[in-house]
A and B are shown apart, each in its own frame.
Chain A
């Protein structure tokens, strides 16, 4: 057993098999559990019911306006709506590209940070963007990209990559500009997740691989990569989840324009619901988005459990 594994077991001491208890656990644990569960049910199951109900109604927010049953109208409208499918496409494009960049750059950073003497300081500095409110990050980058007084625009022009024009006003550039913001804010998170995986790679294995004549790159793919695969999956899932969850960058930077080129699905939903106040149609779109989230969530939970050390099955008490 390697050093890393031993350390892990020490901190995660498994609980022993349950012993007879004096008070019935049910009477003790249930009151502890219920308040949170009831609160969460009120805030999630009731709204979910409302969503399903509204997706079959025409919902107007005018006071006293009746909610009309419209059957499957919202659903068939959604399926026929080219903008709906277009926004899925943009979301997929955005997520895949930003994730590929974040995973690539993040893994590289993690490998380099792994043995750095200044790991603590560097990690702290790299954490900073993640603490910034995404909408503020969006505003800040909108300023940096600005064609007249943005420093990044000035820099790109000065090195000859741009010749006038705009960044965020150009339908072929805007989405990639937002990808860069996402990469700036979240690559460090991917790096830190991978770093935690790298710490579990047995060092002697790494060295043995090098002794056998494999270069650093081949050793990385043969020895380190299988060990950090679980970390990479978690990083990708978490990032994808957040790309669906948070649209603040888009709202601050482009609002979906120019020419819908940055209209990701959650932004499309936001617009239908809170610019046009078409909550019935909004509910329909929201349900499809939730469905995808739940499927993803299933993957997340499974991959988290795979990485957790196996706990004894009979730990704790029967409720």
Chain B
């Protein structure tokens, strides 16, 4: 909607509407209303955003504070001291550097990247072909196939881990990156099929037909429409990376030391000889930061992905 339309509607409203010119309905209908309701609403949203962001702020500042300084809170009720404590400190990178120099985090980072990207690529490649076939094909049992695919995505992680653990143990896949890649494919592949089918559904079949009428083969026609879904493919790739990267259970049970990923390593810092919160927060930052960046890049598709395509923005 353009702003001129909005202004137009607004003036019309003012002319015809009886009673108080300003009330709640203007707030909700047109985004403006009495100053007080506006202030209350903005205040509520602002508080909610602060509630959302504070944990991030504390994670980052704790990671940057020198050891000891973070763990020293002001006296109860000393609000001024708290503000000073929160914002005034000399940043240091000691926690970050010790993660990589003493705690092997470069290896865990690499493991995380390999496992997440590996399963994302497999899921997107096989997911694309399957989604295309489901979107374009019409066959008996399609509904059942679709339901089976989606319930695989919804299966509780722990319930899937129990049999996979035993099976992978027999196959020698425990504590290996390929094992983790396969485990992540259990939920990434159905996810990719589900979301990508939505993208293919949005491409009219006419386009392929037109190419085929022009003498192109089916494969050529398929390749011709691929550019139309490339943004979706990229988004699904990123979402698959995100889902696998953030996993804890699979990696904790099946990764062992040799395929340890960042979330497992971060949680592992807790049990090792006392809790160094500065270091855990640094590890948390290392785990979360890449996903925040990726998530913001594909912001448009984020909600669609997280709601299994129920919401299209």
A residues with a Cβ closer than 8 A to B are: 11-13, 15-16, 18-19, 21-23, 25, 28-30, 32-33, 35-37, 39-40, 43-44, 46-48, 50-51, 54, 59, 61, 108-109, 111-117, 122-137, 139-141, 143-144, 146, 148-149, 151, 154, 157-158, 184, 188-189, 192-193, 196, 203, 206-207, 210-211, 215-216, 219, 231, 234-235, 238, 241, 244-248, 251-252, 266-267, 269-270, 273-274, 279, 282-283, 286-287, 289-290, 293-294, 296-298, 300-301, 304, 307, 311, 314-319
The closest CB in chain A to the CB of B163 belongs to: A47
Q: CA of A129 to CA of B246 in the docked complex: distance in angstroms? A: 12
Q: Which residues of B contact A151 (CB under 8 A)?
A: 54, 58, 73, 86
- Check if A19 sits within 8 Å of B209, measured CB to CB: yes
- Residue contact B24 to A128, C-beta cutoff 8 Å: no
Query: How far does the Cβ of A220 sit from chain B's closest Cβ, in whole Å?
Result: 8
Q: What B residues does A11 contact at CB under 8 A?
A: 202
Q: Whole-angstrom distance between the alpha carbons of A131 and B86 in the complex?
A: 24
Residue of A nearest to B72 (CB): A149
Q: Which of A113, A126, A143, A304 is in CB contact (< 8 Å) with B62?
A: A143
A158 near B166: Cβ-Cβ < 8 Å:
no
**B139 and A112 contact, CB distance less than 8 A:** no
Most chain-B Cβ atoms within 10 A of its Cβ — which of A125, A184, A316? A316
Question: Could you tell me if A32 and B62 are in contact, using CB atoms closer than 8 angstroms?
Answer: no
Distance, CA A129 to CA B55, complexed state (A): 9
Query: In the complex, how many angstroms separate the beta carbon of B77 from the nearest chain A beta carbon?
Result: 5
Q: 12 A-B pairs, CB-CB below 8 angstroms?
A: A32-B129, A33-B129, A46-B163, A61-B166, A125-B52, A131-B295, A146-B277, A189-B306, A247-B157, A266-B156, A279-B162, A311-B201
Task: Say yes or no: is B272 at the interface (Cβ < 8 Å to chain A).
Answer: no
Q: Chain B interface (Cβ within 8 Å of chain A)?
A: 17, 24-25, 27-31, 41, 44-45, 48-49, 51-56, 58-59, 62, 70-74, 76-79, 82, 86, 122, 126-127, 129-130, 132-139, 145-152, 154-167, 169, 182, 185-186, 189-190, 193, 201-202, 204-206, 209, 212, 217-219, 242, 245-249, 253, 262-264, 266-267, 270, 277, 280-281, 284, 287-288, 291-292, 294-296, 299, 302-303, 306-313
**Cβ-defined contact, A273 with B162, below 8 A:** yes
Distance from B16 Cβ to chain A, minimum over Cβ atoms (Å): 9
| Given A123-B299, A133-B245, A319-B139, 20 new contacts (CB under 8 A) | A35-B130, A39-B189, A47-B163, A48-B163, A50-B167, A51-B163, A117-B31, A134-B248, A143-B280, A157-B77, A184-B52, A188-B52, A196-B312, A206-B29, A207-B25, A247-B249, A269-B159, A286-B156, A300-B154, A318-B139
B130 near A37 (CB under 8 angstroms)? yes
Docked-complex contact B248 and A115, CB < 8 angstroms: no
Enumerate chain A residues within 8 angstroms of B189, measured Cβ to Cβ: 36, 39-40, 43
Known: A15-B205, A188-B52, A207-B29. A139 touches B267 (CB 8 A): yes
The CA-CA distance from A317 to B130 in the complex, in Å, is: 15
Contact A158 to B291, CB < 8 A, known contacts A15-B206, A192-B303, A196-B311: no
A184 to B201, CA, bound (A): 34
- B-chain residues with CB within 8 Å of residue A287 when the two chains form the complex: 159
Residues of A within 8 A of B58 (CB): 140, 143-144, 151
Shortest A231–chain B CB gap in Å is 8
Chain B contacts for A136, CB-based, 8 A: 263, 266, 284, 287-288
Which of B159, B169, B185, B263 contacts A39 (CB under 8 A)?
A: B185
Inter-subunit contact B160/A47 (CB<8 Å): yes
Residue on B nearest A248 in the bound complex, by CB: B248
Query: Chain B residue with minimal CB distance to A53?
Result: B163
Q: Which residue of chain B is the closest to A133 with respect to CB atoms?
A: B246
Q: What 10 A-B pairs are tightest by C-beta distance, nearest first?
A: A115-B31, A36-B130, A319-B139, A47-B163, A286-B159, A33-B133, A133-B246, A32-B129, A131-B295, A15-B205
Q: Which residue of A lies closest to B183 (CB)?
A: A43
A290 contacts B163, C-beta separation under 8 Å? no
| Cβ-defined contact, B267 with A189, below 8 A | no
A112 and B45: CB pair below 8 A?
Answer: yes
Give the docked Cα–Cα distance between A45 and B196 (Å). Answer: 23
Taking the closest CB of chain B, its distance from the CB of A43, in whole angstroms, is 5
Are B270 and A139 in touch, CB under 8 angstroms?
A: yes
Minimum CB distance partner of A311 in chain B: B201
Cβ–Cβ contact B263 & A290, under 8 A: no
* Closest chain B residue, CB of each to CB of A33: B133
Chain B positions within 8 Å of A137 at CB level: 55
A148 pairs with B71, CB closer than 8 A: yes
Q: Is the CB of A132 within 8 A of B288?
A: yes
- Distance in Å: Cβ of B164 to nearest Cβ of chain A: 6
> Given the complex, which residues of A lie within 8 Å of B296, measured CB to CB?
124, 127
Cα A231 to Cα B135 with chains together (Å):
24
A132 partner residues in chain B, CB cutoff 8 A: 246, 288, 291-292
CB distance from A208 to the nearest CB of B (A): 11
Which listed residue, B129, B137, B185, B311, touches A193 by the CB 8 Å rule?
Answer: B311
Give Cα distance in the complex from A296 to B292, angstroms. Answer: 30
User: With A and B bound together, what is the CA distance between A298 and B134 in angstroms?
Assistant: 19
A241 x B154 contact (CB < 8 A): yes
Q: CB distance A149 to B303 under 8 Å?
A: no
Q: Report the separation of the CA atoms of residues A114 and B27 in the bound assembly, to the nearest whole angstrom.
A: 10
User: B residues within 8 A CB of A270?
Assistant: 158, 161, 249
Assembled-state Cα–Cα distance A311/B198 (Å) = 12
Residues of chain B within 8 A (CB-CB) of A32 are 129-130, 132-133
CB of B166 within 8 A of CB of A319, answer no
> Which residue of B is nearest A292, CB measured?
B156
Which residue on A lies nearest to B135, using beta carbons? Answer: A316
